[in-house]
Structure 1
């Protein structure tokens, strides 16, 4: 009798769990992203988590909504066309500074731009570019302002540099290869796409660049209403993204393997190189860290785009509670994406 009662209770419990799981999967959780295809950066974890079944295992049915650029993503989020949006941190903070009160960043699957500083052939060290020419998108552009911070920290007198506005990264890369400028900032992807890039010395690596200027460039935001009504789904999404990131951190080559299927248009050797470059970039603890977000906010207010805007507080645009709940369940990952509160 006791055994039969135990089996019955177990069966009922299983049915209850299955029922709650089906309920969680019944209503799709729409994630708005600005990548029209799987990107060649750690933000690819969103696409790969979906293809790899991470969301399903976490108990949430995710649907990806693809739009072009942050303004469209924000518009879709605020018009309830999605529950979460991957957007530029700058845009979110600007909205809050202008009076928006219902948006919160809850995670970041790709907090750092994969920037590096490369030089023309023959340059030996960062000191060698003092007083030389440095290619940028434009005066005041993101790569210009960030690189000024990085170079200053490396001992370069940025006031004596000759800043050359050249536009897009591929144009700057070509100018660098031709020896028309002495150094420039570009993404690791732009460098690898440049024929003959092997001859160009990397003066500041992707990891060193972010360490010198820890700006969280993108976050995943939700509305306050979504946090209230679908709190468990928000946490499930964060858990899936975090576990996928941990798997790629554990075995960087596995990212290259799945990306070869997702992006057959990219040379396999380039994906192998990218997997090594991103080995320490995965947001294995949710990606939103207080110290980095405070640095980001302070840096933003030093840019022209924030002149005259009200100074906001971190709590006005960030909610750590969902990611903290996830980390309490799955534990923290040591060595990368260090938790800061």
Structure 2
């Protein structure tokens, strides 16, 4: 029961329509092994209750279904990919707004054969990608270019999913590839390969916000206090989970199928990845738009302005209330 609902009952007031649960649409069918886990863990550990909002998770598969569910009124907020949101706005959708990002960056790293110790050594070598134009391909090209690599000299090998690319690297079929830190952690013989560009360096070279939480303009008009309460809960949870031991303890309960040692490895990797101030940075978002419009998926689409797809107001209100994160 939320504080608002309890107060209404104690005063004998009629329950407003907003006493219904605030439905948060997520595209993970179980608690994910990334900072996006903050949404599941915030619910399981009472953060939403303490913020005064009753939240219900609606689970779907992938961003298109999350978008469809939000627009069909099956939820009030959805966690979606930024590129999908931008494409919809560019094609005429005008009622969707990003209000925060609980996990703004994909936790990517570049791994290589152990004899490759500098990015420049990749020139003339084989590099595994999902497919030509895929997100991992486009992002990694940006990262490697920033590191001084002439990416025209890479031999690109389309291999599909990260786990397949990781296996190809272990088997010596390719010289390097991009993968998530989760795939890296799950590799059985990862001591035989090298982290060429770590997760933090990868994001620093390509500070692209890949995931955001969105709401409709109608929800902003009719349920704004709950939107702010959800943001507050997620920000406070992210600040707590920045302490590795805290995240490990919560995840050990949520995902007993994952070895504790692997959770500890991931927790250390995520130290700097939590959205402790809500995850929306104007400069990063503008850079994200600029980068995405340079990819194949955006060819021919009209440019969109930041105000067409973001609303910083709810997050700013939350940070004014609880203060920015220290450090």
User: What TM-score do you get using the length of structure 1 for normalisation?
Assistant: 0.91
Paired position in structure 2 for 1:301: 293
Distance 1:238 1:18 in 2: 26
| Gap change, CA 1:183 and 1:228, over 3 Å in 2 | same
Indicate yes or no: 2:187 matched with 1:194: yes
Q: Is the 8 A contact 1:24 1:59 kept in 2?
A: no
- Residue by residue over 1:284-311, the C-alpha shift from the partner in whole angstroms, topping out at 9 and shown as x without a partner, is 0011110111111111110111111111
Indicate yes or no: 2:114 matched with 1:121: yes
The one of 205, 209, 219 equivalent to 1:226 is 219
Paired position in structure 2 for 1:166: 159
Distance 1:188 1:15 in 2: 45
- Write out aligned runs for 1:1-341 (5 A): 26-249=19-242, 251-335=243-327
| Gap change, CA 1:302 and 1:234, over 3 Å in 2 | same
Kindly name which structure, 1 or 2, has the bigger radius of gyration based on alpha carbons.
1
Distance 1:128 1:73 in 2: 41
Q: Is the 8 A contact 1:113 1:217 kept in 2?
A: yes
Q: Is the 8 A contact 2:18 2:223 kept in 1?
A: no
Distance 2:199 2:167 in 1: 20
Distance 1:44 1:35 in 2: 9
Distance 1:272 1:71 in 2: 32
Q: CA deviation at 1:254?
A: 1.1
Q: CA deviation at 1:313?
A: 0.3
Q: Is the 8 A contact 1:105 1:222 kept in 2?
A: yes
Over the residues paired in the alignment, what is the CA RMSD in angstroms? Answer: 1.7
Q: CA deviation at 1:24?
A: 9.5
Distance 1:132 1:175 in 2: 14
Distance 1:127 1:325 in 2: 45
Q: CA deviation at 1:215?
A: 0.8
Q: CA deviation at 1:265?
A: 1.1
- Of 255-264 and 318-327, the range deviating more from structure 2: 255-264
- Residue by residue over 1:180-217, the C-alpha shift from the partner in whole angstroms, topping out at 9 and shown as x without a partner, is 11110000001111111122111111111111101111
Distance 2:10 2:150 in 1: 63
Distance 1:291 1:125 in 2: 29
Distance 1:210 1:108 in 2: 15
Q: CA deviation at 1:74?
A: 0.6
| Gap change, CA 1:225 and 1:204, over 3 Å in 2 | same
Count matched residues. Answer: 320
- Of 99-108 and 127-136, the range deviating more from structure 2: 127-136
Distance 2:296 2:173 in 1: 29
Distance 1:80 1:326 in 2: 25
Distance 1:51 1:264 in 2: 14
